[in-house]
Amino acid sequence: MNKRTMALSKSSDSFSCPVCSETLKSPKILPCLHSFCEQCIHEFILSTARNKDIAIKDFNCPVCRIVVKPKDAKAKLDKWAKSLQDNVIMNTVLTMDHGNKALECQTCKRYTQTFEAKSWCKQCYEAFCEKCISMHNRMTLLMTHDVVPIEDVGCKTDGLDLRAVSEYCGMHPLKMVDVFCFQHKTACCGLCAGINHRKCDNVNSIDEIVHSSGIYKTLLEKLNDIRESTTTLLHAKQQEKANIKVMAENTEEDAANFIQGIRSKLDICFETFKKQLTVFHDEQNTRLNIRIRLLEQLIQSIEHWTKVTEVVQTSGSITQLFLHVETVKQQIETSTTELEQLCGRDTDINLSFKENETLQKVESVDQIGSLSIEEREKDTNQIGDLFKMCSNFEICIPRFEGIRIEYLRTMHMSGTNLICGVCIADKYILLGDTSTKPNILHLVDKTTGLTINKTVITGNVKRLYFDKDLSRIFISCFTKELFSADFKGPTLAQINRLSFNTDYVGALCRFDKYIYIIVDDSVNKFIPSDPPMEMARSFPTNTNSRGLNGMAISKEKIFYTTVDKEIKCSSVDGQHIFTHKNDKIRDPVSIAMLSVNVLIIFDRNGALHALSNDGKKQATLLKKFEKVVDPWDMWVSTDDNTVYIAGGEYIDVFKIKFD
């Protein structure tokens, strides 16, 4: 085994494709610095498009799920993988490792000459023969580059090609990325900053950010802190899983001992009890497996980022370091937010067997006993330690307990009767105005509050929904009418009535390829094709679409209001998950899901509430609006968690924040 082969075998994980688990072939590297076989990432992109059943504009890394956009937005889908950055370093090591053929000088190769490569330049990412490296080292701009013998590439590389972290602007390829907008969390060149971010409040140069913040100097330390906290939490969940198993086994044993003397008469009851116990154990096992998997994935990601950080700090530029840090922050924020939703409410479970006191009357007993389950909040919150480590990394994890609302401003539209609204893209609001016959749709600039244009609609407007993928507005009415119109630039195209609808309809929302819509006694769905297909019944409900109602969809869950003043949650195929109702929420008529998976509920009586997505936590955010006295609708800009309340001539604007 030669020196290169030994190096490759020692770090075989780095040279294995995460998709096929084989040695990488034609390796491509993503901006997150994960590498894949070109064919594997190609098939993954195609499968992503097939699953969504719509034209996709980006895809997620199969490992860390970071969003990856194609270099050419207009390129065909089957060309995306080929256009990804080649992992030159990894390809070079693999080429040297396989076969007896020597690696060729890449400079000579471009001129159809063949000479064996003897040296490798870490900055140029190229192999050179003796003649070419001599010329390379004589050039003033190149003489400071780090050049190593070609044999050392396989010994010292970790397979990371930092060129995948592009320092050039996507809109202006000749300009370097040197500015960051905190409002949009976007890095760009100075020209983009002057055009697209001139109104943004917090725009700074990358150089200034890197030199003024200590996070870039202590990055490895902070990543290690997060990894240690995650490992502690993982061990705790593994121990909790083991404890549940022991308690379940002990409880089953207690039950078995209890029925020893009367087993012949109680076999059926005992089997029923065991099924209950098995269901509980399986539910808890599933719950903890999900948490354990997420924690393991986070540790794996952190180990990857730690390796990447060492390379970036050693060989990368300031811009690459900055972009890398922002990528790490976004990834950790996504993972820890997901952990908060699953692990934020930790409980201790005590499982025991409770005997049936009437068991003496065997013939009248239909069960041997019941599971006694005590569940209480833990005295220590281990996930809180993880969030504390994340806060040191300048990552804020939204927690339901810290939710609050802040008044921003009021928009006044004199002479209108605003009954509904929706945010369109990042810049506009579409409002339904019933002050005149026929009704009017106002397109308003979100920032200035000025009307851009007006569109007349024949229907009696009730609710609006904007489909981002299609850039299309759907409009339900108090009559048996459903309309749609495409949004093109700052205008609405012709409004068309969807002839397949023959029912009173209410709130609507999209999931996957379907538009789900509330009808009198059911949730229906249709495919928004051109023309749209027929409407089909999804599942029955206790709704009433003749009045006002609300609907929101998140992660295969549908949340909707009912005639009984409830908030119901079902799966998209109609399996009931929970029902939430109390005296504080008197007349819920509109709901919206925030980007952090918190449900905002609008009460027609003039209040605003928050509900966790499991229905267990509720908070009242507002009991009275600023100017709106007769509120009709509420909608949310999920980009920045801004809430809009409309009624009469006013729109009150609020911001959801988390302490």
- CATH number of the domain encompassing residue 505: 2.120.10.30
Average pLDDT of the residues in 427-448: 93
Q: In the prediction, which pLDDT does 288 show?
A: 87
Binned at pLDDT 50, 70 and 90, residue 100 comes out as: very low
* Residue that finishes a domain, picked among 372, 397, 422: 397
The answer to whether 309 touches 322, Cβ cutoff 8 Å, is no
- Report DSSP state, residue 162: G
Q: What whole-number percentage of the chain has pLDDT above 70?
A: 90
d(CA 523, CA 517) in angstroms, rounded, equals 6
Q: In the prediction, which pLDDT does 157 show?
A: 54
Whether residues 310 and 427 share a domain: the answer is no
pLDDT digits (tens, 9 = 90+) for 249-265: 998 888 888 777 676 66
Q: In the prediction, which pLDDT does 491 show?
A: 86
Whether residues 53 and 154 share a domain: the answer is yes
Average pLDDT of the residues in 572-582: 92
Q: In the prediction, which pLDDT does 466 show?
A: 94
Whether residues 360 and 420 share a domain: the answer is no
Contacts of residue 595, Cβ cutoff 8 Å, sequence gap at least 6: 638, 639, 641
The tokens describing 167, both together, are 């320092």
Contacts of residue 572, Cβ cutoff 8 Å, sequence gap at least 6: 511, 512, 516, 538, 553, 556, 557, 558
Strands, sheet with 522-526, edge to edge from the N-terminal-most edge strand: 505-511, 514-519, 522-526, 536-540
Whether residues 326 and 421 share a domain: the answer is no
pLDDT digits (tens, 9 = 90+) for 215-237: 877 888 888 888 888 898 899 88
d(CA 609, CA 371) in angstroms, rounded, equals 35
Whether residues 513 and 646 share a domain: the answer is yes
pLDDT of residue 54 exceeding 90, the answer is no
Total of domains in the chain = 4
Contacts of residue 538, Cβ cutoff 8 Å, sequence gap at least 6: 516, 522, 523, 524, 525, 572, 573, 574
Average pLDDT of the residues in 602-627: 92
With CA atoms as reference, report the closest residue to 88 among 12, 163, 37.
163
Q: In the prediction, which pLDDT does 575 show?
A: 92
Contacts of residue 84, Cβ cutoff 8 Å, sequence gap at least 6: 28, 29, 30, 38, 41, 71
Binned at pLDDT 50, 70 and 90, residue 1 comes out as: very low
Q: In the prediction, which pLDDT does 414 show?
A: 93
d(CA 32, CA 300) in angstroms, rounded, equals 14
Q: What whole-number percentage of the chain has pLDDT above 90?
A: 31
Q: In the prediction, which pLDDT does 647 show?
A: 94
The tokens describing 265, both together, are 């008469």
Q: In the prediction, which pLDDT does 423 show?
A: 93
pLDDT of residue 337 exceeding 90, the answer is no
Q: In the prediction, which pLDDT does 550 show?
A: 93
pLDDT digits (tens, 9 = 90+) for 130-167: 999 999 888 888 888 888 887 776 555 566 666 667 78
* Residue that finishes a domain, picked among 374, 397, 420: 397
Question: Residue 331 is which amino acid?
Answer: Q
d(CA 120, CA 129) in angstroms, rounded, equals 9
Whether residues 185 and 151 share a domain: the answer is no
- Number of helical (H) and strand (E) elements in the chain, helices listed first: 13, 38
Whether residues 393 and 410 share a domain: the answer is no
Whether residues 93 and 235 share a domain: the answer is no
Q: What is the pTM of this model?
A: 0.60
Return the SS3 of 67: strand
Question: Residue 293 is which amino acid?
Answer: R
The answer to whether 651 touches 644, Cβ cutoff 8 Å, is yes
Q: In the prediction, which pLDDT does 5 show?
A: 41
| Phi-psi group of 415: left, alpha or beta (phi > 0 → left; psi -120 to 50 → alpha; rest → beta) | left
Binned at pLDDT 50, 70 and 90, residue 444 comes out as: very high
> Given the structure tokens 């369109």, which residue do they identify?
424
d(CA 154, CA 174) in angstroms, rounded, equals 33
* Residue that finishes a domain, picked among 127, 146, 163: 163
Q: In the prediction, which pLDDT does 380 show?
A: 63
The tokens describing 278, both together, are 């098995």
pLDDT of residue 10 exceeding 60, the answer is no
Instruction: Count other C-beta atoms under 10 Å from residue 20's C-beta.
Output: 14
Q: In the prediction, which pLDDT does 595 show?
A: 81
Whether residues 137 and 187 share a domain: the answer is no
Whether residues 47 and 100 share a domain: the answer is yes
CATH code of the domain containing 174: 3.30.160.60
CATH code of the domain containing 16: 3.30.40.10
Whether residues 447 and 354 share a domain: the answer is no
Question: Residue 119 is which amino acid?
Answer: S
Q: To the nearest 5 percent, what fractions of the chain are helix, strand and coil?
A: 35, 30, 35
For residue 546, give its domain range: 401-658
With CA atoms as reference, report the closest residue to 184 among 198, 170, 165, 172.
198
Binned at pLDDT 50, 70 and 90, residue 6 comes out as: very low
Q: What are phi and psi of 366, to 5 degrees?
A: -110, 5
Binned at pLDDT 50, 70 and 90, residue 368 comes out as: low
d(CA 461, CA 483) in angstroms, rounded, equals 10
Q: In the prediction, which pLDDT does 8 show?
A: 42
Whether residues 478 and 393 share a domain: the answer is no
Q: In the prediction, which pLDDT does 4 show?
A: 41
Average pLDDT of the residues in 590-603: 91
Which of residues 201 and 486 earns the better pLDDT score?
Answer: 486
The tokens describing 21, both together, are 């688990």
Instruction: Count other C-beta atoms under 10 Å from residue 601's C-beta.
Output: 26
d(CA 90, CA 88) in angstroms, rounded, equals 6
Q: In the prediction, which pLDDT does 7 show?
A: 41
- Report DSSP state, residue 538: E
The answer to whether 354 touches 361, Cβ cutoff 8 Å, is no
d(CA 328, CA 567) in angstroms, rounded, equals 37
Q: In the prediction, which pLDDT does 145 show?
A: 85
What is the chain's mean pLDDT, rounded?
A: 84
- Report DSSP state, residue 71: S
With CA atoms as reference, report the closest residue to 558 among 498, 604, 518.
518
Strands (E), 52-178: 59-60, 67-68, 85-86, 119-121, 126-128, 147-149
Q: What are phi and psi of 319, to 5 degrees?
A: -65, -45
For the chain, give the number of residues.
Answer: 659
Binned at pLDDT 50, 70 and 90, residue 421 comes out as: very high
> Given the structure tokens 């029912």, which residue do they identify?
503
